[in-house]
């Protein structure tokens, strides 16, 4: 081998079956409840401006997939997954050069594809597509089933793919990765399930929510036929930059994080409109073991069910303190599966 050539990518001896991490199991249970639904599809996209080498881009994708075991995982309906030794990744190329508004056409293409469910068990559940408008404008879209990737990992895919492409275009090697890989997280997750740490987390969360809290609002949808998930009602409320900056400044004066200040406002709002003192907020958690898996592609995220009580006569300072205590406790116990708590409740 030429010593100046790229380092070989070390792969397992062959395809093998592994279990799901606890984070993946949460998604698997959700998909089992709604097997024909695409609501667990996630992804992202970017507009690429400037000259573009498709051949190098395909080579960079091949390198990316070879590097990361999460991109070679094939989940199955039975709650297992297969890690492929090798995979020749498919990059779909779509010609949108005839569209008068290229960027809008790319957005519409994305929306159509994200609504298509993945078929588990046949191939890694992801779709990468390059949308061609002109030699100077392309759109890159990546879509995953949540079983193999979370939002943080999606941004890492875009970043790493760009790093490899730029290195290859400059005829140099991309920096080596030092992350432990997603299978290491699966193993850690399996070990955690039977550990003293799991027992401590179990005791904490069952102490936080000893009984199922009453819903803050009534269900809007009547019972529908099985396997059909009702469409959600979405409301997007944007904060102006000036309002956000004022919130950050006020949080600094109060000695709390902007997140906790916003959380307190959210809790107070839902308490007042529902007339209930106890509010439980689902807070997404990266669940990446501090920095250990921070650069690892895969599905890690969990949801923390954070309870906060709004008491009569409570001051703003009291409410902020209660939110701070609740969040600090939750973040010390981030790996406990929400489904485990739900099953006990």
Listing DSSP states for 169-238 in one string gives HTTSPPPPP----HHHHHHHHHHHHTSHHHHHHHHHHHHH-SSPPPPSS---S----TT-PPPPP----P
Give me the tens of pLDDT residue by residue for the chain, a chain 345 residues long: 344 444 444 454 568 899 999 999 999 999 998 888 899 999 999 999 998 899 999 999 999 999 999 999 999 999 999 999 999 999 999 999 999 999 999 999 999 999 999 999 989 999 999 999 999 999 999 999 999 999 999 999 999 999 999 999 988 877 878 788 999 999 999 999 989 999 999 999 999 999 988 888 877 665 555 666 777 778 898 999 999 999 999 999 999 999 999 999 999 999 999 999 999 999 999 998 778 899 999 999 999 999 999 998 899 999 999 999 999 999 999 999 999 998 888
CB atoms within 10 A of CB 305: 18
State the pLDDT at residue 153. 95
CB atoms within 10 A of CB 238: 7
CA distance 108 to 111: 5
Q: Give kind and range of the element (H or E) at residue 253.
A: helix 241-254
Q: What does R_g of the chain's alpha carbons equal in angstroms?
A: 23
**pTM for the full predicted model:** 0.87
Say how many residues make up the chain: 345
- Contact yes or no for 122/75 (Cβ under 8 A): no
Angle among Cα 210, 215, 221 to the nearest 5 degrees reads 140
CA distance 296 to 177: 9
| φ and ψ of 31, to 5 deg | -70, -35
State the pLDDT at residue 223. 53
Closest by CA to 34, choosing from 217, 225, 220, 234, is: 225
CA distance 27 to 253: 40
Q: HSE (CB half, 13 Å, CA atoms) of 169?
A: 14
Residue 126's DSSP bridge partners are 144
CA distance 316 to 323: 11
State the pLDDT at residue 171. 83
Pairing of strands 80-83, 73-75: antiparallel
């Amino acid at each position: 081998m030429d010593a100046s050539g790229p380092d070989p990518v070390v792969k397992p001896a062959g395809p093998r079956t592994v279990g799901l991490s606890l984070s993946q199991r949460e998604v698997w249970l959700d998909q089992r409840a709604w097997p024909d639904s695409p609501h667990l599809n996630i992804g992202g996209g970017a507009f690429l401006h400037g000259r573009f080498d498709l051949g190098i881009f395909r080579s960079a994708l091949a390198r990316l997939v070879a590097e990361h075991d999460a991109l070679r995982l094939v989940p199955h309906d039975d709650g297992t997954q297969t890690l492929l030794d090798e995979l020749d990744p498919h990059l779909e190329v779509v010609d949108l050069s005839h569209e008068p508004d290229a960027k809008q056409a790319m957005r519409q293409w994305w929306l159509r594809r994200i609504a298509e469910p993945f078929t588990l068990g046949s191939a890694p559940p992801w779709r990468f597509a390059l949308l061609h408008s002109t030699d100077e404008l392309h759109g890159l879209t990546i879509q995953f089933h949540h079983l193999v990737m979370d939002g943080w990992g999606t941004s890492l895919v875009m970043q790493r793919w760009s790093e490899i492409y730029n290195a290859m275009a400059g005829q140099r090697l991309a920096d080596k990765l030092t992350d432990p890989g997603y299978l290491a997280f699966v193993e850690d997750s399996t070990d955690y399930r039977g550990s003293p740490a799991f027992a401590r987390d179990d005791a904490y969360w069952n102490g936080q929510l000893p009984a199922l809290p009453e819903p803050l609002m009534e269900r809007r949808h009547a019972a529908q036929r099985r396997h059909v998930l009702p469409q959600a009602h979405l409301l997007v409320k944007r904060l102006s930059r000036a309002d956000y900056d004022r919130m950050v400044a006020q949080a600094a004066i109060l000695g709390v994080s902007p997140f906790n200040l916003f959380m307190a406002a959210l809790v107070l709002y839902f308490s007042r409109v529902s007339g209930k003192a106890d509010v439980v907020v689902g807070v997404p958690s990266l669940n990446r073991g501090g920095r250990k898996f921070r650069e690892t592609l895969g599905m890690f995220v969990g949801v923390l069910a954070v309870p906060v009580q709004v008491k009569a006569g409570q001051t703003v300072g009291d409410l902020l303190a209660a939110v701070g205590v609740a969040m600090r406790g939750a973040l010390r116990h981030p790996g406990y599966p929400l489904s485990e708590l739900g099953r006990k409740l």
